[in-house]
Amino acid sequence: MIAFESATNTSPTLDQRLAKGEIPAAHALSYAINLGQALRQMHDAGQVHGAVSPVNITVSGTRLELLPAAAPADGATPYTAPELLQGQPADARSDIFSFGAVAYEMLTGRPAFRGDNRAALAEAILHAVPRSSGNPGIDLFLSTCLAKDPAARFERMQKVLLELKLLAVHARRAENPARRGQAAAARRAELQEIETRLVSRLEAHERTASDTGRATREALDTLREQISALGAQFAAAQQRAEQGASSARRTIEAIGERIAQTEEGLDALRQDFMTHVENAVADLHDLRDCLDAQGAAIESARRAQAQTDNLVEGVVEALDLLQSSVIEQTEEGFLGVD
């Protein structure tokens, strides 16, 4: 939280000070800078005041102290931002509007907005444009602080303080013509001294340029000689390169001939290989036909062998049957004889 300074019994408010009469421009700008610094500190801490007005500001010597608002403002005051009258919450830009109204009153000695009653005052805040202060720079600054649209005001108190400090510098220059004359004389003396130094440096530069030009000419002559020598070396190198290129061409041609001969040999080898392949394929076909024929012959022989085996088996069985019949007949004969 921002710590506010408490007003002492002997510290009047800015409202009381304004009631005594106009504040000199330099003091008013200094007061405005003090007030702006307090608001910047508060805004940087993420807080807003919401009720900046002379009754919440004390004057202590050449400085102002911003006090916290005792309670929310009841209705419009000459320092209330337009958006607050429309029910919007207070934020940094509404504080900037209130700051601008306080600064306007310090710099001009009159409120920025007036009204016979609260409704008239609210109407003035919403639509009226404050009178000129007589100083274009201050008018531009105040009009930016007091813009009706929050988006048209300064975005941050940092920018407000920067503009205030520039206005304070211009005000100090305008307040003291004698000092401006002394400053002008000092500047003229300074300029004369600078001019003398520049003339001296220019002469030194001219001498240096003359020496540099002479050295440059000598360097150019040397460079020309080197270029000429390099040209001769280049011509010799070019001749050697041409001779090398001619030799390379002959070598390439010889290699081309060898490649052509090699390709012819490869073609002959390919043809021979294809012939051998074709012959081998034909031989394989013949071999397969022969194998097929042999297989058929073997199969026929196997069948003949099987038939032969069946025939032999039939013959054996017939012989066996015949033998058995003969034996039986013989035995019957013997039995009959007995």
Domain residues of the chain, as ranges? 14-175
pLDDT at 335: 59
DSSP secondary-structure letter at 149? S
Q: Looking at domain 14-175, which of 3.40.50.300, 2.30.30.40, 3.40.50.970, 1.10.510.10 is its CATH number?
A: 1.10.510.10
* Cα 127 to Cα 147: distance, rounded to the nearest angstrom: 10
Strands (DSSP E) contained in the chain are: 57-60, 63-66
Which two structure tokens, joined as six digits, stand for 297? 């012959």
Residue (of 59, 70, 72) closest to 8 by Cα position: 59
Checking if the pLDDT of 99 tops 60, the result is: yes
User: pTM of the full predicted structure?
Assistant: 0.52
Q: Among all chains, which residue has been given the structure tokens 């993420």?
A: 46
* Cα 220 to Cα 18: distance, rounded to the nearest angstrom: 80
Q: Among all chains, which residue has been given the structure tokens 């049957």?
A: 321
DSSP secondary-structure letter at 144? H
Alpha carbon 95 to its chain's center: 36
Alpha carbon 11 to its chain's center: 55
Q: How confident is the model at residue 268 (pLDDT cuts 50, 70, 90)?
A: confident
268-272 contacts, C-beta under 8 A, 24 or more apart: none
The count of C-alpha atoms lying within 13 angstroms of the C-alpha of 279, restricted to the half-sphere facing its C-beta, is 6
Higher pLDDT among residues 337 and 110, named by residue: 110
The alpha carbons of the chain give a radius of gyration, in whole angstroms, of: 62
Alpha carbon 331 to its chain's center: 130
Provide φ and ψ at 129, rounded to 5°.
Answer: -110, 125
pLDDT at 1: 37
Mean of the per-residue pLDDT values of the chain = 84
What confidence tens digit (pLDDT) does each residue in 141-156 have?
999 999 999 999 999 9
Checking if the pLDDT of 5 tops 60, the result is: no
* Cα 100 to Cα 142: distance, rounded to the nearest angstrom: 6
Helices 92-108 and 136-145: angle between axes, nearest 10 degrees: 150
pLDDT at 243: 84
Q: How many CB atoms lie within 10 A of CB 92?
A: 21
Most confident of 161-170, 181-190, 293-302: 161-170
DSSP secondary-structure letter at 61? T
Provide φ and ψ at 123, rounded to 5°.
Answer: -60, -40
